[in-house]
Amino acid sequence: MRLVVASDSHGAAWRLLDAVQQQLEGEGEQSGAAVSPQCLMFLGDGEDDLHILRKYCPQLKIYAVRGNCDSQHSDLPEVDVMVLAGVKIMYMHGHQYAVKSTNDSLLAAARVHGAQLTLFGHTHTPYYSYEDGLYIFNPGSIEAHSYGVVDITDAGVFCFHCKV
């Protein structure tokens, strides 16, 4: 299963579409085999930008959370947890866990939820680490042309940073 992971579009709606189309066309291939994305994980700060994907990629499943720059009246959750392809994923924007200064509270929350993969944005800086069974991934800011891909395979979880 391939997830496109994006955050912090801040009005750059077309860059979201560019990232998804790049993956659909195989230009963003990372793992050596053509894999179409099954969903977009949007990590906040650009909720209104998702309309472009709903219009041009209606088949794409979109999971999204609210960021600190999104409307506080949004129906989107601030944090969500789900299982995709057998992997428990916790995803959020990250401001509520002070990720610009430390990942400690983010990691603690991921452990409480039993997550195997945690996705966050907010810092606008691509980040990846693996700590004691937990993959931690920030795609950077799609506004700054940075997004991520997560492949969940029988061989494991693979996270990649990409550029639009």
Neighbours of 108 (CB within 10 A): 11
> Per-domain residue ranges for the chain?
2-163
Q: Identity (one letter) of the amino acid at 54? A: R
Q: What is the DSSP string of 109-150?
A: HHHHHT-SEEE--SS-S-EEEEETTEEEEE---GGGTEEEEE
Summarised one tens digit per residue, pLDDT across range 121-162 is 999 999 999 999 999 999 999 999 999 999 999 999 999 999
pLDDT at site 158: 97
Q: Identity (one letter) of the amino acid at 150? A: V
Q: What is the pTM of this model?
A: 0.93
Summarised one tens digit per residue, pLDDT across range 77-100 is 999 999 999 999 999 999 998 898
For residue 102, give both structure tokens: 């430390």
CATH code of domain 2-163: 3.60.21.10
Report percent pLDDT > 70 for the chain: 95
Q: In the chain, at which residue ranges do the beta strands (DSSP E only) sit?
A: 2-6, 39-42, 61-64, 79-84, 87-92, 117-119, 127-131, 134-138, 146-153, 156-163
